[in-house]
Amino acid sequence: MFTHNFDPVLIDLYIVEVRWYSLAYIFGILVGWIYAKKIIKRLKTNSSLYDLEIKDFDDFIPYLVIGIILGGRLGYVLIYNFNYYIKNLHEIFYVWNGGMSFHGGLIGIIVATFIFTSIKKIHTFIYLDIISCVAPIGLFLGRISNFIRSRYFKRE
Using one digit for the tens of pLDDT, what is the confidence trace for 5-46?
777 788 888 888 888 888 888 999 999 999 999 999 998 887
Q: What is the pTM of this model?
A: 0.84
% pLDDT > 90, the chain: 55
For the CA atoms of 123, 128, 130, 135, the dihedral, rounded to the nearest 10 degrees, stands at: 170
Instruction: Mark out the alpha helices in the chain (DSSP H runs).
Output: 20-46, 54-75, 82-87, 102-120, 124-150
